[in-house]
């Protein structure tokens, strides 16, 4: 910027503007131009974003209320797009004083001394965002400020001089966006300290008769469960937050897939070497959908979108590991690779008491099985209905092959040749896939063949045993006999 003094700033025609006015003006320009300032936020076009834009146009302080993994913090961070690219600041000011509307004693004294020759600097929008995670150890000094004895000693000032104050995060966020994440975790007495700042725009530090009409865009985030489990938002503070906006999880698999593909950190080398059928993306998303409906999962805690993102990353890595172990240069993701995402599921869902009794690993496997069952009937005939139908059962040849005592093992570490050889043993399997889905690539054809076996087992038409490194498929009756005789899966 060529403007370096107050005199030059006045000559430029600059007029002071509050941060909320600034955001409102820029949002109006975005809306008129048909541009989205919240690029990358998916699934909120008809719900959250219109409410957020209305709140900004109303110049409100905002609280985003929703379960974990619903992009609350990301929305807050994207709000910097609504700020002017640069704003003028009195040089050396701790609280980003506007040169034409100075706030602090430092800026007022400097301007009184130097007048129109007072130096100014320019602050970029990226520097105008402050974020604080509310934790029990946060104190008033952190947020508001306190007397600094070192400053008093070095400047040889009395403690009753406001120049000895060390400002906290909020005063230093003057003319900025200030975000407090997980607001209910903030102690009640700390929340009380925000009352005046939100309503009157001033603050109190110790015994100072100090009024700083701060200009701050406040954004808070909170999880509804926190109101009862970990803390609460005190009523007078909640009353001072103008707009409460409820976030939510993706309403469809398509939206959820878009988020996962956008956020998953898949390495270029993985993308080049590993092919993936759309079915695998759908299955990963369906696992999260099933978890959000499961009676074994704590629904109040929520199931974060991070589950599907980390699961997709693990899915690629499981296929990559197999490829490297087998010395192959290319491979494709299989259904069996889904069980490599168990750590992502067990680490991302909170279980109720009944779920804890079942065991986290068992619940995770159950969720994968339900996802397979749900999506299977979108591609193939429902095995239960086919069995009862008077029409020929499309699965009879496959089931009969297993009933004759045959079995196959799909190992997670098997190379592509052994994987294809094993699946090709099942009589009628390839023919069913071709008849149902038509012409497919070789990789997709074998993937769907494997999908059929997993689907039939989820509908109790076949038995599926988990081995140490894969699955064994066989007929249902022999499995029952094995269970009665006390034989285990490892045997």
**Average pLDDT value for residue range 195-199:** 79
| Predicted confidence (pLDDT) per residue in 466-480, tens digit | 888 888 999 987 655
Mean pLDDT of the chain: 89
pLDDT recorded at residue 140: 83
Question: Which residue from 178, 2, 174, 171 is spatially nearest to 89, judged by alpha carbons?
Answer: 174
Strands 165-167, 145-147: pairing kind: antiparallel
pLDDT band for position 416 (cuts 50, 70, 90): very high
Q: Quick one: pLDDT at residue 145?
A: 77
**299-303 long-range contacts, CB within 8 A, separation 24+:** 300/224, 300/225, 301/67, 301/68, 301/225, 301/349, 301/350, 302/67, 302/68, 302/69, 302/70, 302/223, 302/225, 302/249, 303/69, 303/249, 303/348, 303/349
Q: Which domains does the chain have, with CATH numbers?
A: 6-246 (3.40.50.300), 250-379 (1.10.8.80), 383-491 (no CATH)
- In the predicted model, is pLDDT for residue 149 greater than 70? no
Whether the pLDDT of residue 486 is over 60: the answer is: no
| pLDDT value of residue 253 | 93
Predicted confidence at residue 122, as pLDDT, reads: 96
**Mean pLDDT across the stretch 389-416?**
92
- 409 confidence band (pLDDT: 50, 70, 90): very high
- Mean pLDDT along residues 36-59: 95
164: pLDDT strictly greater than 80: no
Crossing angle for the helix pair 360-379 and 442-458, to the nearest 10 degrees: 120
Residue 482: per-residue pLDDT: 55
360-390 pLDDT, tens digit each: 999 999 999 999 999 999 999 999 999 888 8
Q: What is the pLDDT of residues 261-300, one digit of tens each?
A: 999 999 999 999 999 999 999 999 999 999 999 999 998 8
Across the strands, what pairs with 466? 471
Residue 487 confidence (pLDDT) above 60: no
The model's pLDDT over 311-338, given as tens digits with 9 standing for 90+, comes to 999 999 999 999 999 999 999 999 999 8
Whole-angstrom CA distances from 353 to 227, 273, 340, 408, 452 are 21, 42, 25, 37, 34
The better pLDDT of the pair 480, 401 is held by: 401
Which residue(s) pair with 123 in the sheet? Answer: 87
Residue 485 is predicted with a pLDDT of 46
The confidence band for 228, taking pLDDT boundaries of 50, 70 and 90, is very low
Q: Give the confidence band of 83 by pLDDT, cuts at 50, 70, 90.
A: very high
Round to whole Å and give the CA distance between 477 and 459. 14
For 339-363, write each residue's pLDDT tens digit.
889 999 998 899 998 999 999 999 9
- How far is residue 151's CA from residue 278's CA, in Å, rounded to a whole number? 62
**Higher-confidence residue: 161 or 234?**
234
Are 458 and 373 in contact by the 8 Å Cβ rule? The answer is: yes
Q: Which of 29-33, 70-74, 140-144, 206-210 has the lowest mean pLDDT?
A: 206-210
Q: Which residue has the higher pLDDT, 129 or 388?
A: 129
The rounded percent of the chain whose pLDDT value lies above 90 is: 70
pLDDT of residue 34: 93
Query: How far apart are alpha carbons 193 and 34 in whole angstroms?
Result: 40
pLDDT tens digits, residue range 7-35?
999 999 999 999 999 999 999 999 999 99
């Amino acid at each position: 910027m060529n403007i370096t003094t107050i005199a030059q700033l006045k000559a430029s025609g600059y007029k002071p503007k509050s941060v909320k006015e600034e955001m409102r003006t820029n949002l109006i320009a975005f809306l008129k131009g048909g541009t989205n300032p919240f690029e990358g936020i998916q699934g909120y076009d008809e719900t959250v974003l219109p409410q957020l834009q209305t709140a900004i146009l109303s110049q409100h302080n905002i609280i985003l209320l929703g379960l974990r993994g619903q992009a609350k913090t990301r929305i807050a961070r994207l709000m910097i797009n609504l700020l002017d690219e640069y704003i003028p600041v009195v040089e050396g000011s701790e609280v980003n004083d506007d040169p034409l509307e100075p706030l602090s004693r430092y800026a007022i004294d400097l301007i009184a001394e130097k007048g129109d020759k007072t130096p100014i600097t320019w602050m970029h929008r990226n520097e105008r965002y402050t974020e604080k995670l509310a934790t029990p150890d946060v104190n008033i000094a952190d947020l508001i400020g306190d007397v600094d004895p070192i400053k008093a000693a070095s400047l040889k000032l009395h403690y009753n001089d406001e120049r000895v104050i060390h400002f906290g995060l909020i005063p230093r966020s003057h003319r900025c966006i200030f975000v407090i994440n997980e607001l209910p975790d903030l102690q009640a007495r700390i929340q009380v300290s925000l009352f005046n700042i939100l309503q009157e725009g001033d603050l109190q530090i110790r015994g100072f008769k100090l009024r700083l009409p701060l200009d701050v865009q406040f954004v808070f985030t909170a999880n509804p469960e926190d109101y009862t489990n970990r803390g609460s938002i005190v009523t007078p503070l909640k009353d001072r937050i103008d707009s409460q906006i409820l976030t939510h999880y993706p309403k469809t698999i398509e939206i959820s897939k878009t988020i996962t593909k956008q956020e998953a950190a898949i390495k270029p080398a993985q993308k080049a070497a590993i092919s993936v059928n759309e079915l695998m993306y759908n299955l990963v998303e369906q696992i999260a959908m099933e978890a959000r409906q499961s009676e074994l999962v704590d629904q109040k805690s929520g199931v974060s979108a991070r589950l599907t993102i980390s699961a997709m990353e693990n899915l690629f890595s499981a296929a990559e590991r197999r490829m490297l172990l087998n010395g192959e240069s290319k491979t494709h993701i299989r259904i069996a690779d889904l069980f490599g995402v168990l750590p992502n599921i067990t680490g991302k869902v909170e279980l109720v008491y009944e779920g804890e009794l079942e065991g986290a690993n068992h619940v995770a496997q159950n969720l994968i099985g339900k996802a397979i069952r749900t999506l299977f009937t979108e591609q193939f005939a429902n095995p239960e209905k086919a069995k009862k139908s008077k029409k020929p059962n499309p699965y009879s040849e496959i089931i009969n092959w297993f009933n004759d005592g045959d079995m196959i093992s799909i190992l997670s570490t098997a190379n592509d040749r052994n994987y294809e050889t094993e699946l090709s043993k099942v009589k009628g399997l390839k023919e069913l896939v071709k008849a149902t889905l038509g012409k497919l690539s070789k990789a997709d054809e074998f993937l769907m063949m494997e999908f059929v076996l997993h689907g039939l087992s989820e509908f109790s038409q076949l038995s599926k045993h988990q081995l140490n490194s894969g699955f064994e498929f066989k007929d249902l009756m022999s499995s029952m006999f094995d269970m009665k005789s006390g034989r285990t899966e490892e045997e």
